Amino acid sequence: MDTKQSQNRDLSLEKHVAALMSILAEVHGEDQLALKAGKLDSLELLQSEKIEDRILALERLVHDDPTISGQRTPEEAVQVLQELEDYLADLLAKRTVEEQLEQKVSAKLQERHVEYIKEVRMQVLKEVAGPDNAQTLKKYAELEMLEKRSLSRSTADLMRPQRLEEVVGQEEAVKSLLTKISSPFPQHVLLYGPPGVGKTTVARLALQYAKQKEYTPFSEDAPFVEVDGTTLRWDPREVTNPLLGSVHDPIYQGARRDLADGAVPEPKLGLVTEAHGGVLFIDEIGEMDPILQNKLLKVLEDKRVIFESSYYDPHDPQTPKYIHQLFTKGAPADFVLIGATTRDPSEISPALRSRCAEVFFNPLTPQDIIEIVRSAAQRLGVKLAPGVAELAAEYTIEGRRATRLLADAFGVALYRGGKQDELVITKEDMQEVIQAARLSSHVPTKASPTKEVGRILGLGVSGYVGSILEIEAVAFPSREPGKGQVRFNDTAGSMAKDSVFNAASVFRAVTGEELSSFDLHVNVVGGGNIDGPSAGVAILAAIISAVKGLPIPQDIAVTGEISLRGKVKAVGGLHAKIYGAKQGGVKKVFVPKENLDNLPTSIEGVEIVPVEHVVDFLSQIFPQAFQAESTWPLAN
């Protein structure tokens, strides 16, 4: 190779090395490159005039290896520079990609930073202003406006008694309830009685009365929690139970989000805990689910509600203290239960009855209704024309309905143009209300001072409402001797039909005559269903009257089962029956002597006569034909 070629080659290597060095300077920077060359013991080689030394220094800097040594031949130098060029190309490409990624990462970080700033700002705004926005604040304003708009008090609230002294016709029941509630040791109570006689009102006022006594355990803020037993619904899985309380497990809808996220069950307290320290009043308690009643009995015994959940972990540090307390000790539920029902005591759970004292409310009499209407008119601020209260009493025996009739008549009087300050409700106003409501007299059968043959007044009861039964009989000589027939309306019930056959047997013993000599028809007017044998004595008297032509006073009534030996046996529902007789204008009521211990102490306007034997009764209504003796007398 000649000198010129050698010079050209060296010049080419010089340019190549210079180019690579400039690239390294751009990558690392001149100052950093000089420092790096010093660490790699290559600083003198970089400053050498020999191209071989500079190539060696370049090789050490690229590979970052100070141990590389040795001189390269021109051919090897070219190959080394080519390798270094490829390595630097890869390094530059990688650096470019890294720079692009860093730019993208910086851009993303900037975006996230802006979003985070926005989230923080929104959170601060929520903490300051709450969860409301323009729409929710508008709805809140609408609700506030609705709250400011109200009508006057309803007539039901206005005319409801505000003091126990204003409750009409229930003096004994009120006294009995107060003695059980206003005591150092108050009892659970069941209130029995027909609807509309004041059970709910008395229960509300009884707690207020008890709070005034120093010896009762009720505080001034003792709660009165009221609920209707017909509306109490519960889930057997205990997902919901508004009466006793329930547990909302994390998997069920309704659990709080913060608790559900931590898999913490949330107990929901029920009405029994809300009534703690006060009274829980359950209206229509007889309509409650039997299983729910049994659960309530458990709470009455323990005075505490126990919560259970398979999700509860007593060692979970994320569980709030109050939830630990509810699951370990339960929720307090020490209250007095007052349950009201229109059912007969026999239809109420024996277990519930055994834990409660029992108070019975009497049916209201016409005089009670008259007093209720007059008192309600005073609260309403109106005057009544003569006979208005008496007219209302003829069509209802419920205090609630009586006040509703008065309220409707009040509206009718205003409609015809009366001034409210000077309003007088007339009989025509009340009559218009009665006709519009399609009401009929609640006492279709009334007593009279006359006497009739083959007709007698018996007594029946439905629920707690007594009524008068009109029993009649007709007798004709049979067409064929000894082949007389006895007919009785089937709608009166099978037990009433048995009473007819019992009466037929006793008829022969009393009169000495065969009933088969007559065609006899016994009828209960109106087709009333007699639930029980209590019409036996009345049926016998009607038969004797029809056969013998003996008139019966129409201002008396009788109830009692008749045995085949003529004994007058005890019957049920006697209180309601006597009140029903009084409403019908009956002056004297004959009752079984066996019921003497259960008779009312006194009922104004009604004479109660106990009888032991059917002859005791017959001798008083048919004194000309029968004599009261120990033996069974025959007819004169």
pLDDT over 90, % of the chain:
18
280: helix, coil or strand? strand
Q: Which of 20-29, 383-392, 583-592 has the lowest mean pLDDT?
A: 20-29
**85 pLDDT more than 90:** no
343: helix, coil or strand? coil
DSSP of 532-584: SSTTHHHHHHHHHHHHHT-EEETTEEE--EE-TTSBEE--S-HHHHHHHHHHT
**437 pLDDT more than 50:** yes
For the chain, what is the mean pLDDT? 81
Token pair of 524 as six digits: 């209960």
pLDDT tens, residue by residue, 8-26: 666 677 777 777 777 777 7
The confidence band for 527, taking pLDDT boundaries of 50, 70 and 90, is low
Mean per-residue pLDDT, 266-288: 91
What pLDDT is attached to residue 353? 92
Q: Measured between alpha carbons, how far is 430 from 426 in angstroms, rounded to an integer?
A: 7
Q: Measured between alpha carbons, how far is 69 from 584 in angstroms, rounded to an integer?
A: 136
Give the torsion sign (CA, 311, 315, 317, 323): positive
pLDDT over 70, % of the chain:
85
Active site residues: 534, 577
What angle separates helix 388-395 from helix 366-380, to the nearest 10 degrees? 130
Mean per-residue pLDDT, 105-127: 76
Q: Measured between alpha carbons, how far is 219 from 222 in angstroms, rounded to an integer?
A: 5
Mean per-residue pLDDT, 508-517: 80
Which of 558, 530, 531, 561 is CA-nearest to residue 542?
Answer: 558
Q: Measured between alpha carbons, how far is 521 from 96 in angstroms, rounded to an integer?
A: 121
Token pair of 424 as six digits: 């007088």
The confidence band for 153, taking pLDDT boundaries of 50, 70 and 90, is low
Secondary element (H or E) of residue 248: strand 245-248
- Say how many C-beta atoms besides its own lie within 10 A of residue 625's C-beta: 18
Q: Measured between alpha carbons, how far is 60 from 56 in angstroms, rounded to an integer?
A: 6
510: helix, coil or strand? helix
The confidence band for 493, taking pLDDT boundaries of 50, 70 and 90, is low
Contacts of 278 (CB under 8 A, 6+ apart): 207, 218, 222, 223, 224, 225, 335, 336
Name the residue with higher pLDDT: 153 or 451. 451
**471 pLDDT more than 80:** yes
What pLDDT is attached to residue 210? 92
Mean per-residue pLDDT, 325-353: 91
pLDDT tens, residue by residue, 192-240: 988 888 898 999 999 999 999 989 999 999 999 999 998 888 877 767 8
Q: Measured between alpha carbons, how far is 141 from 150 in angstroms, rounded to an integer?
A: 16
466: helix, coil or strand? strand
Name the residue with higher pLDDT: 113 or 221. 221
Which of 405, 442, 446 is CA-nearest to residue 427?
Answer: 405
What pLDDT is attached to residue 179? 93
Which of 91, 77, 84 is CA-nearest to residue 21?
Answer: 84
The confidence band for 518, taking pLDDT boundaries of 50, 70 and 90, is confident
What pLDDT is attached to residue 254? 58
Give the phi and the psi of residue 73 in degrees, each rounded to 5.
Answer: -70, 160
Token pair of 300 as six digits: 């009455």
Contacts of 405 (CB under 8 A, 6+ apart): 373, 392, 395, 396, 430, 433, 434, 437
Burial of 636 (0-12, 13-18, 19+ CB in 10 A): exposed
**150 pLDDT more than 90:** no
What pLDDT is attached to residue 629? 44
The confidence band for 132, taking pLDDT boundaries of 50, 70 and 90, is low
DSSP of 76-132: HHHHHHHHHHHHHHHHHHHHHHHHHHHHHHHHHHHHHHHHHHHHHHHHHHHHHHTT-
**609 pLDDT more than 50:** yes
Name the residue with higher pLDDT: 123 or 487. 487
Report all structural domains of the chain as residue ranges with CATH numbers, in order of start.
1-145 (no CATH), 159-360 (3.40.50.300), 366-436 (1.10.8.60), 451-621 (3.30.230.10)
Contacts of 117 (CB under 8 A, 6+ apart): none
Mean per-residue pLDDT, 395-411: 88
Q: Which of 6-15, 232-241, 316-325, 557-566 has the lowest mean pLDDT?
A: 6-15
Token pair of 265 as six digits: 């069950």
What pLDDT is attached to residue 181? 92
Do residues 84 and 76 make contact, with C-beta atoms less than 8 angstroms apart?
no
Do residues 496 and 489 make contact, with C-beta atoms less than 8 angstroms apart?
no
Mean per-residue pLDDT, 248-274: 75
The confidence band for 631, taking pLDDT boundaries of 50, 70 and 90, is very low
The confidence band for 304, taking pLDDT boundaries of 50, 70 and 90, is very high
The confidence band for 88, taking pLDDT boundaries of 50, 70 and 90, is confident
What pLDDT is attached to residue 126? 63
Name the residue with higher pLDDT: 613 or 72. 613
Contacts of 471 (CB under 8 A, 6+ apart): 455, 456, 457, 458, 522, 523, 524, 525, 535, 538, 539, 542
- Say how many C-beta atoms besides its own lie within 10 A of residue 606's C-beta: 18
Between the alpha carbon of residue 47 and those of residues 22, 36, 60, 62, the distances in Å are 14, 14, 14, 17
Between the alpha carbon of residue 371 and those of residues 93, 166, 366, the distances in Å are 107, 10, 9
**627 pLDDT more than 80:** no
**30 pLDDT more than 60:** yes
What pLDDT is attached to residue 634? 41
Give the phi and the psi of residue 158 in degrees, each rounded to 5.
Answer: -70, -40
What pLDDT is attached to residue 602? 60
What pLDDT is attached to residue 128? 60
Q: Which of 346-360, 406-420, 451-465, 615-629 has the lowest mean pLDDT?
A: 615-629
The confidence band for 636, taking pLDDT boundaries of 50, 70 and 90, is very low
Token pair of 401 as six digits: 């309905």
What pLDDT is attached to residue 344? 85
Q: Measured between alpha carbons, how far is 450 from 457 in angstroms, rounded to an integer?
A: 13
